Amino acid sequence: MTFFKLCRAVFNPSIVAFFLTTPTTAIVDEKTSPTSFFRSRPDLHAPIVELEIFKPELVSPGYVFLAPYRNIDPGLYIYDNSGQLIWSGAGTQGSSTVHNPHVCQYGGQDHLCFFQGHQHHGWARGHGVIMDNRYRVVQTVEAVGSAPTIDMHEFRLVNDGKSALVTIYQPRAYDLSGFGIGPGVGWIQDSLFQEIDVDSGELIFEWRALDHIAPSFSYTCVDCTDTSGDGLTRDTPWDFFHINSIDKNAAGDYLISARHAAGVYKISGQDGRVLWQLNGANPTFKNKHLHFSSQHHATWVDETEDQTVISLFDNASNTFNITNRESRGMLIGIDHIKRTATKIRTWQAPEKNGILAGSQGNVQLLPNGNAFIGWGDHAFYSEHLISGEPVLYGKLAYWGSDVMMYRCNKHPWVANPLTTPTLWTYSLTGTNDSTLVSYVSWNGATEVHHWLFYTADSATGPFQLAGSKNRTGFETEFDDPRVKQWSFAEAVDKSGRSLKRSSVVKTFVPSNSIVSECGLRNCGPVPPLEEGEVFDKNMPLEPNRGRNYTRGYSTGRYYPNDSTFGRISYPSKALHLGIFLVILAAVFLLVGKRKLLGSIALCQGRCLGAYSREESFPSVPTYQKLEDADRGT
């Protein structure tokens, strides 16, 4: 067996490689991966962000896009700079494995782009998704040619959204006898990337690692890491290259990162040849004060004929070998004249001993000069000044949960979901002896400034404005001392424009049978049974065998609008009318009865009518079928 010759000394000789001990059993619970509970959306299990803000005035604007997996509800999540949930993708699409969520340009407008599919160990199968700002899927991208499905490591739009870059992992039968595997046919994992026309689905360019990079240049030997593969079967091919990022420059050439080769490559967009290689076993440049390994997410920052600047995430570890004591974001300068590569800057995690991420991770340079970093197999993210100083640090789950995030990103984002706000209301007694407590949220909405709350004694109204409350996070609570049986809430933006309304809901009032576990704001869960105790389960009888059963809702009027709903009256009208009567009395004293009655006769249809009628609801958007012309193409 000679394949151990592959294990090259990629690491810094001053640092001894060693094995990392990782938890043998992952435990996902409320201690290792805490989740939120929202009374208006109890179906959501959004991770709770433990957030440290070191310099709030220096945190860049925008929203944080995260995609944890192996948690309770994997999927795409959006949070604001205070760690408050904005959108749970699991609450819209259902939980699924998602990677690298980010804002992309498609059809001249902001969209969400991400990979979605099935997770394997070290790679994935799926497709690229493009979603508009109402959270509708408007386009998907699949691999073309003879390749299998798209892999998780890269899905990004280029050329103003006209084409997509994707990675693909393809097992191939291969003679591994030279690496000590045989007799018999072995298996190798080929790393491919494609550029695909988004709208037509046609292939623009395809590159295959096996056609340009000799497997003997790999730094990851057969069956020596958890993701390398043993090369014995089609399901366990030797992953000699492991492509994990693609970028494209204005000249049409590509920049790719290969984790298992510890190298970054510039690839010709004409014929696929390697134009240069940074680091790895066959480098073009001499490293000066620079070493990295098992890296992720190499992207161009600047490029001229003489110099190139790139950023990458230096893992410095594959969980078996270590080349640096901690992982870091890194900025690298390449001098094409002197043929040297130099470390310009690094960003470390704001931990006493840093973080050593054995897999995954990314660096995003923000428009204001800050750096946003995802810490891979640690479900953490941080934002730093260009100097390296951290300004923000967030944690979604803790070591031992096995919850990870491949990449994290930060972008501006404006969204108006197709869905409506969700409301849940509660009263301990159902009378004014207790408070009416409202819980309202709108999954994915970014423009809500405050909420208006309306109540009535009937499901069909008339509804009266009960009050307003500024938005206070994903879920806003509102207390009203006047208990009513029916309610709805209305979202309003900062300009005072109505956005959308919730459905009409009936106030939850606990019965005498459960009220012992209830308080002024909500009820607690069913308490655990004593040992040997069982519930006396039964099916209650409904009067008249359930005929005409109803909870009081009007099916045709779940959602309030001006054509199917009752009318609304504002308490302020009474105040206005009172003021008007006081003014009227004063005028009567000043001008006399005869002149006053003449004036009233002229304007009674206008002056008094304006205060006596009830106002209808403002019109609300109707639901329309998504036509081809509305797909952002």
Q: Write the pLDDT tens digit of every residue in 93-139.
A: 999 999 999 999 999 999 999 999 999 989 899 999 999 999 999 99
First vs last C-alpha separation in the chain: 56
The answer to whether 221 and 262 have CB atoms below 8 angstroms apart is no
Using CA atoms, how far apart are residues 559 and 563, in angstroms rounded to an integer? 11
pLDDT at res. 600: 44
pLDDT at res. 589: 55
Per the omega criterion (within 30 degrees of 0), is the bond before 183 cis? yes
Percent of the chain's residues with pLDDT above 70: 85
Using CA atoms, how far apart are residues 374 and 553, in angstroms rounded to an integer? 47
The answer to whether 3 and 180 have CB atoms below 8 angstroms apart is yes
pLDDT at res. 583: 54
The answer to whether 201 and 140 have CB atoms below 8 angstroms apart is no
389 has a pLDDT exceeding 70: yes
Its pTM stands at 0.85
pLDDT at res. 294: 96
Q: Domain coordinates of the chain in residue numbers?
A: 3-411, 422-524+551-557, 573-614
Which residues make beta-bridge pairs with 395? 50, 380
pLDDT-derived band at 569 (thresholds 50, 70, 90) equals low
pLDDT at res. 544: 83
Using CA atoms, how far apart are residues 14 and 16, in angstroms rounded to an integer? 7
Q: What is the pLDDT of residues 595-622, one digit of tens each?
A: 444 444 444 434 333 333 333 333 333 3
Match 């655990």 to its residue by tokens.
528
CATH homologous superfamily of domain 422-524+551-557? Answer: Immunoglobulins (2.60.40.10)
Q: DSSP state, 89?
A: T
Using CA atoms, how far apart are residues 532 and 551, in angstroms rounded to an integer? 36
Q: What is the pLDDT of residues 498-536, one digit of tens each?
A: 999 999 999 999 999 999 999 999 999 999 999 999 999
Q: How far is CA 126 from CA 116, 152, 359, 432, in A?
A: 6, 7, 20, 55
Tokens coding 440: 């309202």
The answer to whether 298 and 255 have CB atoms below 8 angstroms apart is yes
Q: How far is CA 434 from CA 344, 466, 551, 586, in A?
A: 64, 16, 22, 42
626 has a pLDDT exceeding 80: no
Residue 228: closest CA among 329, 321, 115, 98: 321
**Helices (H) then strands (E): counts for the chain:** 4, 37
Per the omega criterion (within 30 degrees of 0), is the bond before 462 cis? yes
CA 576, chain centre distance (Å): 47
Q: What is the pLDDT of residues 29-78, one digit of tens each?
A: 888 899 999 999 999 999 999 999 999 999 999 999 999 999 999 999 99
pLDDT-derived band at 473 (thresholds 50, 70, 90) equals very high
pLDDT at res. 28: 79
For residues 291-309, give the mean pLDDT.
96
Using CA atoms, how far apart are residues 262 and 228, in angstroms rounded to an integer? 13
The hierarchical CATH code for the domain 3-411 is: 2.130.10
pLDDT-derived band at 623 (thresholds 50, 70, 90) equals very low
286 has a pLDDT exceeding 50: yes
The side-by-side arrangement of strands in the sheet containing 380-384 is: 50-53, 390-395, 380-384, 371-374, 362-365
Q: What is the pLDDT of residues 582-597, one digit of tens each?
A: 455 554 455 554 444 4
Q: What is the pLDDT of residues 400-429, one digit of tens each?
A: 889 999 999 999 999 999 999 999 999 999
The answer to whether 324 and 12 have CB atoms below 8 angstroms apart is yes
For residues 21-26, give the mean pLDDT.
49
The answer to whether 420 and 442 have CB atoms below 8 angstroms apart is yes
The C-alpha angle with vertex 462 and arms to 461 and 466, in degrees rounded to 5, equals: 100
pLDDT-derived band at 557 (thresholds 50, 70, 90) equals confident
Burial degree of 311 (CB within 10 A; 0-12, 13-18, 19+):
buried
Length of the chain: 633
Q: Is the dihedral of CA 75, 80, 81, 82 positive or negative?
A: negative
